[in-house]
Amino acid sequence: MKFLKKSMAIFFAVSMLTACGGNDKKAGDKKDPEVKNETSDSENGTASKLEGSWEIKRAEGSMSEMNVGTIYEFKGNSLSFGKGDYKNPGRTEVSDSTFSFQAEGNEFKFMYNYTFNGDTLVVNMVNGMGQVFHMVKK
């Protein structure tokens, strides 16, 4: 059973990272626009209205059922996500309509667009094969 859980966690992480696409910029391309954060938190870096834990309650697109129940945890400029005992830690930059995720030890940066529908956080993965997550704050 432990092997199955670990295998599923690894499969989940790999599928999330491959589904998101990658950073295809060349060395001579222009820099990304500067991301402005909404508030600051001197203890944890930057903070935003996304601060805290968000759980995917409904998902659309590729592998949607596999994503339901995933927890995204924003803490300053850190972001981790996963299910159960598995967590994929990394860094984030949050603006008023986007956030990024760069896993620890990985050079790829994944981008997300987000909006709010009442208390629901609606996240669209850029280059994510139509993946849309509907999250609620935990």
Mean pLDDT of 43-60: 83
> What is the rounded distance in angstroms from the CA atom of residue 86 to the CA atom of residue 78?
16
> Which of the four CATH numbers 3.40.50.300, 2.40.128.280, 2.60.120.560, 2.70.98.10 does domain 2-21+36-137 have?
2.40.128.280
Stronger pLDDT, 9 or 116, i.e. the higher one:
116
Residue of 134, 132, 128 lying closest to 15 (CA atoms): 128
Tokens encoding 110: 């994944």
Q: Are 65 and 99 in contact (CB under 8 A)?
A: no
> What is the rounded distance in angstroms from the CA atom of residue 132 to the CA atom of residue 123?
6
Task: Render pLDDT for 58-99 as a digit per residue (tens, 0 to 9).
Answer: 999 988 999 999 999 999 999 999 999 999 999 999 999 999
> What is the rounded distance in angstroms from the CA atom of residue 121 to the CA atom of residue 128?
17
Task: Render pLDDT for 106-128 as a digit per residue (tens, 0 to 9).
Answer: 999 999 999 999 999 999 999 88
Mean pLDDT of 11-24: 44
- The tokens 């991301």 sit on which residue? 35
Q: What is the pLDDT of residue 42?
A: 34
Please give the share of the chain, as a percent, with pLDDT higher than 90: 61
> What is the rounded distance in angstroms from the CA atom of residue 127 to the CA atom of residue 75?
25
